Amino acid sequence: MATSTSAKKHLATTLLVPELRRKHYAQTVADSKAGKKVAWCSNNIPSEILEAMDITSVYLENYATVCASKRLSSAFCRAGERAGFSQDVCGYARILMGYLLGGDDLPEAPYGGPAKPDILIVNSYSCDSRMGWFTTMARTLDLPLYVLDSPYQPGGGCTDPDNIVYTESQLRGLIAFLEEYTETSFDPTRLRQRLELAAKANDIQVEIYQMRKHVPSPMGAGDAYTAVWPGMYLTGSEECDRFYEQLRAEMRERIENGIGIVPEEKLRLMWSGLPFWYNMSLMNYFEEKGGVVAIENAFFRQLRSLPQQDEDPVRDMALRSTMRRGYAGGIGERIDLTVEVAREYSIDGVILSYNPSCRLFYILQPALKNALDRAGIPTLALECDMADERTYSEGQVKTRLDAFMERLLARRQGDRREIRPS
């Protein structure tokens, strides 16, 4: 499996990301050497708070995707398994535990390895696997761990005052923890500055996501999974805002000039779940036959603008987090959102990525399939891990993709039930 596995990028702005990412990781290492405190974080830990307190953050799940994209997942997962972690455990966790506990025979880690941590911060927002993972790391590395808990939030945004009070107390607890363990102090003004920049970037991303409804699609998942990176990991910075301004400008130009991903767009697909980070070229696989992966459902934060709710920045964050649609509301909300998106983006077929080691997404897919069946939208199941490349079999995956394309193209040619509401 030595051939190139990155997605081909159709947008120039997206090509900037690898260098932004390399620089960012290099900066975290430089920060550590300069005496700044480093926090190892799970996704959705608010970096705005950390950055406002001069604490450097390293997001481990992202680091694991970098390992996977550089074709290192086999070695690190194997090391993780040798250290005692089951193959059923999150691929990201196995990669990092393999990195931490593996021996001298491990290949060199990307960017020379993540910057050494002083503290660990995990949240319960996305899944429970990461809770076990970070607790294990805290014990293994003998480092302080803060668990940021997010309450269950039923039904599309939640205004339950108890949830808001609880979320705010969790954030204030994080700040107190940071002040204690990193000997820094919290300045609400600095946080407010970062939140304003982050909100601006978020709103531009919302616009960009709306633009992706356009036919022909100006940006597909091949670019999107990379273009989402600055918003997740550079949030609250001028650099991040500049990136999305540039991306938006490029999108506008493409739409004005009718530039799509393929010359003749025959099929629009959605990718549900995480992609296979070790083979992103699959996002381009359909392009030869006029198919585009027009949208993905993994990162829904960008679908909604979250205006300022309160003067106090911490309370503001608590209020806005309860407005988010995404993982906190249970499966029903995520399914409804996905079906809604499939209709709005004129989707012909949905690829269901059953990542064996990611329950957050795996759990969703069968029920989502039923909902899409009822909506008359064809689906295809692919069973490969998002991080562990040993689960991927080229022939098997391509047979399924080819068959799905055959099915969808034949459907277009023949008598076809109208699947989109008028």
Which parts of this chain interact with another protein (CB under 8 A)? 373, 378-379, 381, 383, 393, 395-396, 399-400, 402-403, 406-407, 410-411, 414
Helix, strand, or coil here: 361? helix
**Which of 122, 163, 111, 127 minimizes the C-alpha distance to 144?**
122
- Minimum CB separation of residue 189 from another protein in Å reads 55
What is the DSSP code string of 157-210? S---HHHHHHHHHHHHHHHHHHHHHH-----HHHHHHHHHHHHHHHHHHHHHHH
- Strand bridging mode 119-123 / 56-59: unpaired
- Minimum CB separation of residue 75 from another protein in Å reads 23
- Minimum CB separation of residue 91 from another protein in Å reads 17
Alpha carbon 361 to its chain centroid, in Å, reads 12
Nearer to another protein, 72 or 270 (CB): 270
Nearer to another protein, 125 or 354 (CB): 354
Nearer to another protein, 225 or 392 (CB): 392
Nearer to another protein, 253 or 373 (CB): 373
Nearer to another protein, 248 or 400 (CB): 400
Q: What angle do CA 27, 33, 34 make, to 5 degrees?
A: 85
Nearer to another protein, 26 or 410 (CB): 410
List the structure tokens of 33.
């050497």
- Minimum CB separation of residue 264 from another protein in Å reads 19
Which residues have a Cβ under 8 Å from the Cβ of 140 and sit 6 or more positions away? Answer: 100, 101
Helical (H) or strand (E) element with 269? strand 267-272
- Minimum CB separation of residue 132 from another protein in Å reads 27
- Minimum CB separation of residue 352 from another protein in Å reads 11
List the structure tokens of 406.
């055959």
Q: How far is 325 from 330, CA to CA, in rounded Å?
A: 10
